Amino acid sequence: MERMKEFLRHPIFKIIAGISDHLGQESYVIGGYVRDKLLNRSSPDIDIVTVGSGIELARKVAQVVHPPARVTVFKNFGTAMLHYQEMDIEFVGARKESYQHHSRKPVIENGTLEDDQKRRDFTINALALSLNKENYGELIDPFGGVEDIRKKLIRTPLNPDITFSDDPLRMMRAIRFSTQLKFNIESSTLEAISANRERIEIVSAERITEELNKIILSAKPSAGFRLLDQTGLLEFIFPELHKMKGRESVHSIPHKDNFLHTLKVLDRLAPHTSNLWLRWSALLHDIAKPQTKRFVEGVGWTFYSHNFLGAKMVPRIFRRLKLPLNDKMKYVQKMVMLHMRPIVLSEDTVTDSAVRRLLFEAGEDVDDLMTLCEADITSGNAKKVERYLRNFGVVRQKLKEIEEKDHIRNFQPPVSGELIMETFDLPPSKEVGVIKNAIKEAILEGEIKNDFTEAYKFMLGKAKQLGLEKARHSNEKTGPGKPADDR
């Protein structure tokens, strides 16, 4: 018990204990905080369960702490939360739950600590520490959660079939905890996930994606996706990824399993970034390979344009999974679209114009793109991997040199469309677009420098080819060699 009291050294626990005694309520720290302390992990979230009103207890605690805390009440759930010294503390009354088959939302009644522990998803999350005066710091562990932590095991407190049928999201949580904690899922619990996999269809996309994101952000995401596949959940929640599984062979020539390749890429990327959207890019970079797969005699297996089709698939996948349809989605689209470009560059002579175009299209995300592409080299041939990575080093150096010289990242035309229209007295028209595009191409090809003077001269020459004459008033308004924006 002395060790458990060490977990309750923070003054907030004594405050909660004192108020609970005053109210005549049993109170306990329960769930993730206790689990994480036993695992020597930090835990900024604290869950308090009390036999009585959690909302009333939260309000009393908020009045006593210094400075007084603001309480957020969720009446529909019977819970209250306050933020104190970098910790989020949630209070709830002990309860028991019953479920109807068509919904994962339980019918809730007031209950005892035992009732509350029975409704918990896993034994490791049912651990409770008493905050009551007579047994302060005592561990209440009715389902052997401490032993399961020692064995590194995910197991449900009650019958797993009932646990997962009642709330199918718990199947995703089992796999997520297994992935994050590097625990095994106990055999009957794993079998119950497979048996109840179709029940996942009553869970909202938002809740599924919340668990997916946590799996993707783990140290070894492939472990979670292998379990999703093994249990049959993957086909229901991510059919596009499921379709990537397997190898086909023609004339005894197989292609690689693109599902397993994708998991390798994700694992190789994980140590280099905690950017969720770059990790999503790794997961989706080859998502269109099943649709673009062809066997060509004399060539072998091809996946032509899988990057283009994959980029088109991204919005549909994001929409279905309720992922953000904003700049995050566009970033993933860009990564999927461009992920072949550095590989092609590394195979050929790296020309300045090709590097300029890559910088132009990738912009500020070019370093992320290179990180993704380096993770994409998963060949079993060590010499081939070494050669590719060495060539990528050349590409990275070339990117740095060209950017320092030409400033192509976040490229803005040195001559604006407004100046073109003013110089030649043009309305918005095809000719304006032709001139702007010609200036951009000339800069990317290295024909002119990325500066106003050279671009302005080029504009005059291009306009002459198009039969356009300079307006008489343009020099008077702009002055020679000065952009319109500098007037």
DSSP string, 285-322: TTTTHHHH-EEETTTEEE-TTHHHHHHHHHHHHHHHTT
Q: How many CA atoms lie within 13 A of 188 on its CB side?
A: 9
Which residue in this structure is represented by tokens 């993933």? 332
At 197, give phi and psi (nearest 5°): -55, -35
Look at residue 395 in the predicted model and tell me its pLDDT.
84
- Is 160-237 assigned to CATH 1.10.110.30? yes
Do 233 and 197 contact (CB within 8 A), yes or no?
yes
Q: Distance from first CA to last CA of the chain, Å, rounded?
A: 77
The pTM of this model reads: 0.86
Q: Percent of the chain scored above 70 by pLDDT?
A: 93
- The span from the CA of 352 to the CA of 376, in Å, is 24
The 3-state DSSP class for residue 284 equals helix
- How many Cβ atoms from other residues are within 10 Å of residue 333's Cβ? 19
> Helix count (H) and strand count (E) of the chain?
26, 15
Q: Which residue stretches of the chain have pLDDT < 70?
A: 1-3, 97-104, 106-107, 347-349, 472-487
Look at residue 487 in the predicted model and tell me its pLDDT.
31
What sign does the CA torsion over 21, 27, 28, 33 have?
negative
Looking at residue 376, the DSSP 8-state letter turns out to be T
DSSP string, 86-138: TEEEEEEE-EEEE--TT-SPPEEEE--HHHHHHTSSSGGG--EEE-SGGGTT-
Q: What are the residue boundaries of the structural domains of the chain, listed by start?
A: 2-148, 160-237, 256-406, 417-486
Which pLDDT tens digit goes with each residue over 263-306? 999 999 999 999 999 999 999 999 999 999 999 998 999 999 99
- The span from the CA of 196 to the CA of 187, in Å, is 14
Chain centre distance of CA 277: 5
Look at residue 1 in the predicted model and tell me its pLDDT.
56
- Is 2-148 assigned to CATH 3.40.50.300? no
Look at residue 350 in the predicted model and tell me its pLDDT.
73
What CATH architecture does domain 256-406 belong to?
Answer: Orthogonal Bundle (1.10)
Look at residue 475 in the predicted model and tell me its pLDDT.
52
The 3-state DSSP class for residue 4 equals helix
Looking at residue 39, the DSSP 8-state letter turns out to be T
Look at residue 198 in the predicted model and tell me its pLDDT.
96
Which pLDDT tens digit goes with each residue over 64-109? 998 889 999 998 788 999 999 889 999 999 988 666 666 667 667 7
